[in-house]
Amino acid sequence: MIEIRNLEKSFGESKVLKGVSAVFETGKTNLVIGQSGSGKTVLLKSLLGIFTPDVGTISFNGRIYSDLTSDEKRELRTEIGMLFQGSALFDSMTVSENVGFPLRMFTNDDKHKIQDRVDFVLKRVNLIDAHHKLPSEISGGMQKRVAIARAIVNNPKYLFCDEPNSGLDPNTATLIDNLIKEITEEYNITTVVNTHDMNSVMEIGEKIIFLKDGLKEWEGTKEEIFRTDNVAIVDFVYSSNLFKKIREAYLKESH
């Protein structure tokens, strides 16, 4: 479980996070949604330790990040898997080398054991045939799956995903969403997904936090999104006619 309390972060004069508090539960896909500039990325980068919050605390299963020594912080980071928006695969390494990278860096396992684990996770993301290819030789969707494999190869306790299906076609996006949800349940990890894709919200959003102008505007489940009267989230989620009609149909059915 990750708990953030009263998180504030400014860049110069601009205050991006204005006191956000939230709990991201273990074994659930926690979604952070909001418009561009709402503070989602800053929140995620603060969780990852890339940005240091000005005020507030972040605790990982009771360990307050700011109280840890730099070695303890690095140790904690080995428990984190991260799926970057652009995949962030290492260009000079093959798919297999990319996935095995955390194991080579942080375990004393021999080559065969590492390869077995790499093959296992590549099978899990249906990419076993691509192990010898370079990232530039595979599609964007495949790169995302490789990045997921790399993120989970070390059995992380926390998985962070930044816009996991941006730039993907609807089929591949759904595949990635489902993969994240399945992995979260299978490995019982705390997953935080940063997105503004409403399909993801409807597919995998077990717990949703809506940020607006650096503040937590709303929190709930995907079912609660249909019933909420909060103007800000209704405007954001139902800005498309399709979702508006889905909501109307849902409300009609429930009455």
Partner 1 sequence: MLIRYLSQIGKYFLMWKEIFRKQTKWSVMRGLIFKEIDDLIIDSLGIVAFISFFVGGVVSIQTALNLTNPLIPKNLIGFATRESVILEFAPTFISVIMAGKMGSFITSSIGSMRVTEQIDALEVMGVNSLNYLVFPKLIAILLYPFVIGISMFLGVFGGYIATVYGGFGTSTDFIEGIQINFIPFHVTYAFIKTFIFGLLLASIPSFHGYYMKGGALEVGKASTVAFVWTSVMIILVNYILTQLLLT
Question: Which residues are near partner 1 by CB under 8 A?
Answer: 48-50, 71, 74-78, 80, 82, 84-86, 88-91, 101-102, 104-106, 160
Q: How many CA atoms lie within 13 A of 215 on its CB side?
A: 4
Nearer to partner 1, 165 or 201 (CB): 165
Tell me which residue of 157, 99, 179 sits closest to 133, measured CA to CA. Answer: 99
Q: Which amino acid is at 208?
A: I
Q: What is the rounded distance in angstroms from the CA atom of residue 49 to the CA atom of residue 59?
A: 12
Q: What angle do helix axes 140-152 and 170-187 make, rounded to 10 degrees?
A: 10
State which residue, 106 or 120, has the beta carbon closest to partner 1. Answer: 106
Cβ at position 101, least distance to partner 1 in Å: 8
Closest distance of CB 128 from partner 1, Å: 23
Minimum distance of partner 1 from residue 158's CB (angstroms):
10
Instruction: Find the shortest distance in angstroms from Cβ 48 to partner 1.
Output: 5
For residue 156, give Cα distances in angstroms to 1, 8, 26, 174: 13, 27, 12, 23
Starting at the edge strand found earlier in the chain, the sheet holding 14-24 runs 14-24, 2-11, 55-60, 63-64
Residue 116 contacts residue 153 (beta carbons within 8 Å): no
Q: Which is nearer to partner 1, 47 or 125 (CB)?
A: 47
- In whole angstroms, how large is the CA radius of gyration of the chain? 19
CB of 115 to partner 1, least distance (A): 15
Complex with partner 1: residue 13 or 110, whichever CB lies closer: 110
Q: Closer to partner 1 at the Cβ: 160 or 218?
A: 160
Q: How far is the CB of 39 from partner 1 (least distance, A)?
A: 18
Question: Nearer to partner 1 by C-beta: 150 or 212?
Answer: 150
Instruction: In angstroms, give the least distance from the CB of 82 to partner 1.
Output: 5
The strand ranges marked E within 139-223 are 158-162, 190-195, 207-212, 215-220
C-alpha closest to that of 103 among 149, 158, 141, 168: 149
Please tell me the distance from the alpha carbon of residue 199 to that of residue 11, in angstroms, as a whole number. Answer: 31
Q: Which is nearer to partner 1, 136 or 254 (CB)?
A: 136
